[in-house]
Amino acid sequence: MIPTVLMEVEKLVIPLAVQRFVLLEAGPAGFYTAQHLIKARPDVTVDIYERLPVPFGLVRFGVAPDHPEVKNVINTFTQTARHERCSFYGNVNVGKDLSVTELQEAYHAVVLSYGAEGNRRMGVPGEDLSGVYSAKDFVGWYNGLPSCREVRIQPLAFP
């Protein structure tokens, strides 16, 4: 997992006064950013908005359950979420429930860390066969992601 957004955050110019950051959204990039901001500056508070009811993005809904050494990072993220200068707001779909403009008006800085949406098609023969699934849908299904509850995993149908 590469929290590339951190590189951008280090370049932010932070004026003096209590700073209110908002982070969208609650995947690893968002949590690593929150963790480092809170550690680096005692005058920073961070609010995290996430469209799902629960945090941790693809660490919860992507990484396989038999990779506990990767999923363990959730313990560190939980400590950050419980920090007195960090708040988590689930069930908030940015762009629908709140606009980025509204957030810019309410906070000193806004960091967008919304991950990757959708699936990339490979353009290879057989891609549309029954029994072929995107990795994102498949791991979403076995990790219990609500939007993947309709996925019905079938055996591959060879032509």
Ligand X SMILES: Cc1cc2nc3c(=O)[nH]c(=O)nc-3n(C[C@H](O)[C@H](O)[C@H](O)COP(=O)(O)OP(=O)(O)OC[C@H]3O[C@@H](n4cnc5c(N)ncnc54)[C@H](O)[C@@H]3O)c2cc1C
d(CA 153, CA 141): 9
Helix (H, G, I), strand (E, B) or coil at 98: strand
Which span (15-23, 36-44, 47-55, 124-132) binds ligand X, by CB under 6 A? 47-55
Q: Considering only CA atoms, which of 66, 71, 62 is closest in space to residue 139?
A: 62
Closest CB to ligand X among residues 93, 130? 93
By rule CB under 6 A, what string of x and - marks binding of each residue 24-43 to ligand X?
Answer: xxxxxxx-------------
Which span (15-23, 110-118, 124-132, 151-159) binds ligand X, by CB under 6 A? 110-118
Work out whether 110 is an interface residue with ligand X (CB under 6 A). no
Q: How big is the chain, counted in residues?
A: 159
Binding residues for ligand X, total number by CB under 6 A: 29
Work out whether 78 is an interface residue with ligand X (CB under 6 A). no
Work out whether 111 is an interface residue with ligand X (CB under 6 A). no
Contact 84, 75 (CB under 8 A): no
Contact 9, 37 (CB under 8 A): yes
